[in-house]
Amino acid sequence: MTTPDHGARLKQVAGANILITAVAIAFAMAIDPTLGPLAPALCLLAFAIASEFVSVPIAAGRLSGCFGAVLAIGWISGPALGVLAAIIVTLVEARRHGTRRASIAVNVAGLAVAALLAGAAAHLAQVRGVDAADTTFALVCFAAYMAAICIEFWWVFSADLGDDLEPLGVMTRHILVPLLPQFACMACVTAALPMLYSQFGTTALLLVFTVLLSFQSLVRALLLSRQRADQLDESVREIAERERALERLSFGALRALVQSVNLRDRMTARHSGAVARYAREIARELGLDDHEQETVHMAGLLHDVGKHIFTDAILTGGRKLTDDQFELVKQHPGVGAELVRGMPGYERVSDIIRHHHERIDGRGYPDGLAGEDIPLLSRCISVADTYDVMTSRDSYRRPVSRQEAIAELRRVAGAQLDAAVVDAFIRALERTDVRFDHGSADDLERQLAVDSWRQRRAA
């Protein structure tokens, strides 16, 4: 919001710069009242305006050839036309970018003074007998360009029309100095224009401007494309970070759900931890990549979250289930899958959970899938689940030895379980002696550790 004092200051600055512009015009006419050739001046003015419309965006603003074109008008056609061109170009730029009035006055005065001093330097050189076709004249123009760009910069920023601008010295170091090499290159090209015109005329200027505008348009397109690519990359990174944060939040919620099951029935929670460990070993033995291994590990941890629908009689009882109870049991894969599906990024885990009680012969539940129609990772969970139920002391039945469990897995392979997955699990057992300690909560906590899970996902 502009305060009354600040508004009054803006008016004072604008009025002062309008007066300075008028003085610049008067001085330009006094230096050389005879207007030089109009054809190159009009050509350069057209280039200046066109260049502004294809200006190249840079960190400190925009880069175009209009500044050099305005100075070249003063060198070729005299200071008066140079100052007039400065006024026209600045007004066009202000109209295009919606510059506020006080800033327009400052910009007009700054470029007009720069054009006046550059044109005066060139006029003085010519008065002293330096021909426009000489290298000396080009050197004078080069020096005038560099001095003019500094004068305009300091003029505009010393006006301090902003509310929070840094000190002029700081802005000079941070903005002007890094751009000096670019300005020097542009000064070399601009300083050669009077020499080019004196030898080849306006046609040569038109040819050069066509090439420069084409090059500037190409650079602008490339930079804008790069900026869009950078913005897209940044957006992708932000989306990925949000997804990771949401995934961590989702996993934390699911971890809390598993922990809540643990509070009600420690046997089910520890069983889930064991199944997760065994299933990951099966996936590794099958040659699946790290992502697949982590996916099946996650599905193993969550495969029984649907058991929250069980009554205590089902959950902790050791008796044979009634028909009604068994129908409720058959619902838990689907209930657990729907619960997990509500967490973003866990859709595939949900599908694995849904089908972990399917059978190879098609007699499983809830969908009666058979053979290859059952997801591979669901088949891994089925083998791990069956093995842990047989060998765990947490089971409702008497645990059996490892060898007895392996023999039973081989017996039901091809009917209840996938034979290839059974073979892979047996190889993993023999190769790594993988186990799960049901007698301690530590093993379960290691399987549920959010930090270790995040590290494995990032690996």
- In tens, the pLDDT along 397-413 reads 678 888 999 999 999 99
Distances (CA, A) of 422 to 279, 290, 304: 11, 20, 21
Tell me if the domain spanning 4-200 has CATH number 2.40.30.170: no
Residue 459: per-residue pLDDT: 39
C-alpha span between 379 and 422 (Å, rounded): 9
C-alpha span between 132 and 139 (Å, rounded): 11
Query: Sorting pLDDT into bands at 50, 70 and 90, what band is 458?
Result: very low
What are the residue boundaries of the structural domains of the chain, listed by start? 4-200, 261-458
Q: Is the pLDDT of residue 357 over 80?
A: yes
Contact 19, 56 (CB under 8 A): no
Q: Is the pTM of this model over 0.75?
A: no
Mean pLDDT (the chain, rounded): 81
Residue 413: per-residue pLDDT: 95
pLDDT (average), residues 183-189: 86
C-alpha span between 202 and 43 (Å, rounded): 8
The residues, any chain, with a CB within 8 Å of residue 342's CB and separated by 6 or more, are: none
Q: Which residue has the higher pLDDT, 453 or 66?
A: 66
Contact 107, 61 (CB under 8 A): no
Q: Is the pLDDT of residue 283 over 70?
A: yes
Residue 457: per-residue pLDDT: 46
- C-alpha torsion angle, residues 160, 165, 166, 168 (rounded to 10): -20
Q: Which residue has the higher pLDDT, 166 or 272?
A: 272
Furthest-apart CA atoms within the chain: distance in Å:
117
C-alpha span between 392 and 328 (Å, rounded): 24
Contact 364, 358 (CB under 8 A): yes
Distances (CA, A) of 116 to 23, 149, 290, 334, 346: 10, 12, 70, 83, 69
Name the CATH superfamily housing domain 261-458: Hypothetical protein af1432 (1.10.3210.10)
